[in-house]
Structure 1
Amino acid sequence: MNRTPPLGDNGGLWQAVMAAAAGRCQCRGTCGKNHDKDGGRCPAAHGAYLRHGAPPVRLLAAPADPDGLLLPAHQAAALPKTSLAAWCPACHDATRRTAHKARQAAASAAEPDALF
C-alpha cells in the first residue's frame, strides 16, 4: 500500500487517519451502496486499483459524520483526528450528496407554505 500523504498534510494528520483505518475506506453504506460483498465496508484501499485501467485510489481524510462533510473547509480542517475517517472519492462524494439532499429536504419541510 502506498502511504504517501497528499500535499499539505499538516503534522501527519492524514497518516494518523489512514493508520486508524488500516489504509482502507471506512464507508459502511452511507454512500448508498451496502458493500455487502466486502463485509459491509468499502473495499477501496489507498494506492490500490479497483479496476483495470483506472488510476490508483487516493483516500481522503474527512469528517466521519456525513453531516460533517457539509462543514465549511475551515471548520472541517479544525476537527480532531478522532472525528475524521478515511474516504475513497466515490464514497465521499456520494455521502456528501446524500447529506446535502437530506439537509435541503429538512429545510424545505421546515419552511411554511407561502401563498405568493
Structure 2
Amino acid sequence: MSGRVPPLAGADLWQAVMAAAAGRCQCRGTCGKSHAKDGGRCDRVHDGYQQHHGGGRVRLLAAPAEPADLLLPPHRIAALPKRALAAWCERCHDATRNAARRTQQATAPAAEPDALFGS
C-alpha cells in the first residue's frame, strides 16, 4: 500500500477501506454499468490510469457502501463505521449517488399543499 496517498483527514480509515478493497473500486453495477467485462466489479484501481473521461489518475474515495447512504448529510456519513464504507471511483460514486437521488425522489410522498394558500 505504499503507493497510495491517503487524504489529509481520516487517513487511517481510508487506508483500512482501501486495504479491504485491495485498492479497487467496489462498485458491482449500482452505477448503471454492468462491469461485465470485469467480472461484475469495476476495474478501476487507485492511482491507476483512466483512459476515458479526460484521462489522468484514478483516485478512489471511501464512501458509504449502500447507495441510499450516499445521500446522508456529511456529518452522518463521517460517523459511519468502517464496515459500512466501500472504495468508489469518482465515476461509479457519482452515478450511484445520482441513481439513489432519482429513486428517492420517485418514492417520496407528494407534498401537501401549503395550508396558508389552501381553499
Both structures adopt the same fold (TM-score exceeding 0.5): yes
Counterpart mapping for 1:1-80 below 5 A? 2-10=3-11, 12-51=12-51, 54-80=55-81
Aligned equivalent of 2:83 = 82
Structure of larger gyration radius: 2
Deviations 1:5-31 (A, max 9, x none): 012125x00000000000000000000
Structure 1 residues 105 and 22: alpha-carbon distance in aligned structure 2, compared to 1, 3 A threshold: same
Deviation at 1:112, TM superposition (A): 7.0
The residue type paired with residue 111 of structure 1 is A
Alignment length, in residue pairs? 113
Deviations 1:21-70 (A, max 9, x none): 00000000000000000000000000000217611000000000000000
Q: CA-atom RMSD, angstroms?
A: 2.0
SS of residue in 2 equivalent to 1:74: helix
What is the rounded CA distance, in whole Å, between the counterparts of 1:74 and 1:112 in structure 2?
26
Structure 2 unmatched ranges of 5 or more:
114-118
- TM-score, L = length of structure 2: 0.87
Structure 1 unmatched ranges of 5 or more:
none
- TM-score, L = length of structure 1: 0.90
